Amino acid sequence: ESMRNLIVNLCAGRPEIQLTALVGDLDEGARLVQTIPPEDYDIIISRGGTAEIIRTVTSIPVVDISLSSYDVLSTIRLVENYPGKSAIVAYPSISKMARLLCSVLQSDLPVYTVDTTQSLHSVIQSLKVQGFSLIIGDAVTTAYAQHCSLDAVLITSGIESLESTLNEALYIYDLLSVQGAKESLLRKITQGGNTYYAILNSKGSFCWENAALKERQKLRQFFKNFITTVSALEN
């Protein structure tokens, strides 16, 4: 919810962005995405494990909210003097950076990587049995840790990280818009008039053809014979 408020405030000053902000972790986030019409949105922005799951249920490009090294470093420094046993539990997008920073800092703070809700629950339950009392991670991780009566510290994405993600989303949108315009123009060119277009493989099978060519069976056969003859000569 706090990150939703941050990104809403950032987009309020950016009229080029039309934002719908929904709150939902992991499977709930994926469920929310499946309720929205795909044609109404160009880009989805999410974070960590939720972003990874959303990619499996939609064809809309998903931009992962980045975590800067400063975001993770700040959290590691925050728990340095914690008296009990602590560990970082996170999805790959966060755990890779955390492991690298711990190595650079020569910190013995253990880092565990999870990729599903089930593995998250299993790891945290195991750590609790081992005597760990503080879990560091994303919103899903810390929520479950607290549910298990453990202390938890959330790794948050700062304003700079959110701004960087918005800029990346706009860049991807611009690329997709240019590509979409090119494809639209190509469709208009190839579907109109009396010009015939086709894509065939080396065996003379049609992979694609425009509507004008579909009605010309003799011409289609000519294309097929031509391609198979050329392919035979090359071999």
Using the predicted structure, report yes or no on whether residue 52 has a pLDDT greater than 90: no
What is the mean pLDDT of the segment spanning 60-84?
Answer: 88
Token readout for 119 is 């593995």
pLDDT digits (tens, 9 = 90+) for 123-139: 999 999 999 999 999 88
- The whole-number pLDDT of residue 144 equals 92
Token readout for 82 is 């914690």
What is the mean pLDDT of the segment spanning 150-177?
Answer: 90
Residue bearing tokens 């579907």: 191
User: Where does residue 150 fall: left (phi above 0), alpha (psi -120 to 50 degrees), or beta otherwise?
Assistant: beta
Using the predicted structure, report yes or no on whether residue 31 has a pLDDT greater than 90: yes
Confidence of residue 111 (pLDDT cuts 50, 70, 90): very high
- The whole-number pLDDT of residue 9 equals 93
Distance (Å, rounded) from C-alpha 18 to C-alpha 130? 47
Using the predicted structure, report yes or no on whether residue 93 has a pLDDT greater than 80: no
Rounded to the nearest integer, the mean pLDDT of the chain is 87
What is the mean pLDDT of the segment spanning 66-89?
Answer: 89
Looking at the DSSP assignment, which residues form a beta bridge with residue 129? none
Residue bearing tokens 């755990």: 95
Distance (Å, rounded) from C-alpha 63 to C-alpha 38? 15
Using the predicted structure, report yes or no on whether residue 189 has a pLDDT greater than 70: no
